[in-house]
Chain A
Amino acid sequence: MSEMTYRDALNLALREELRRDPSVVVWGEDVALYEGSFKVTRGLLAEFGEERIRDTPISENTIVGVAIGAAMGGLRPVAELMTVNFALLAMDQIVNHMAKIRSMFGGQASLPLVVRMPGGGGSQLAAQHSQSLESYFMHCPGIRVAYPATPADAKGLLKTAIRDPNPVIFLEHELLYNSKGEVPDDPEFTVPFGRAGILRAGTDVTIVAYARMAVLALQAAEALEKEAGISCEVVDLRTLNPLDAETFVASARKTGRAVVVEECWRSAGLGGDLAHRIHEACFDSLRAPVRRVAGLDVPMPYSRELEKLCIPQVESIAVAVRDVMTASV
């Protein structure tokens, strides 16, 4: 084990997979010479050279499309979109092509490619640079969606994504890049897709979250234990597709109460789906309706004081937990 940041863990995953498999190539805007706008690709050009680590034009749709073609031709491209906001320019290649090619061609092609994209809000980058679009990707069959919360998962999930024979949307939270944690050194360490993690065991309430929301949920759980003696079980989804509903449904059945936390907009957000799965599967064991904590349905404002109202915070998660503790059916 070594202590490292989420950023360095991602960098290590890329480095190890580039070393292990010569068919892995990395490209995106400013990833080579500039070493990435969030420095996730630091040092890769120096170690692996111009043919494998490539800067691209600012052509998001084509960044993804070229990666699709390269994957069909036998490579394992890892494409970086500078942020998830710009993935909207690539939605045609992601949704109409990447997610469809295997199925519409009757299983004759496989697309082992990863599209990495930093995202999420909280840095006062205003409406066009603060979005959480995970529900968009989760909605679409044919692609896998991973979104790590911890440095260890950042490394293990990215390695799994690169080795996976399916196309993977790999989301990274911009506010987690500097977070630190213990990361296994073993170059064969991977984290399987479709298995949620229990970040904290508990008996009173289940909190279902992912990525930065899981980190905040954990902080809320610790405060609630200390201040109110409420024991929360925190489930980190790790991957949104495949979705490990079994783990959070079992947890909710055990505790009888659940709060679902999502950073994306509330309307048609993924939390509605998660909450519904809990209601449907354990209606009889629930002692209160499932609560949702979600982003506000507004374009993100710039001002710090307004922005923090729009993104779930430790406090808003704690309020929801106290609510389900007092509410009853």
Chain B
Amino acid sequence: MAERDNEALRSIYRDDPEMAELIELFVGELPERVRALREFFDAGDLASLQRLAHQLRGASGGYGFEPLGFRAEQLESALKADADAEVVRKRVDELIALCSRVAA
């Protein structure tokens, strides 16, 4: 999936009145999730990291941020496959980078 580096990632549902409030909530809480991702990775708590990736994967599409779901899925797959620490780090970084581009 091609994503240009600095462009803001916006929800495909941003014009849907039924979703506006939820998208804002999701975006507002995203820094908290990023912090948790980082902490679980640094602490080597891979089970919690996988859980977080799994939830992000399941929810992102629902909020209209499919690329985010895709990145979360890549991290989840790497963890499921017991990938090297370096691969996991790369996936975490990619996911966090994309999170930072998410905008309401």
A and B bind: no
Show the binding face of B for A, using Cβ within 8 Å: none
Interface set of A (CB-CB < 8 Å, partner B): none
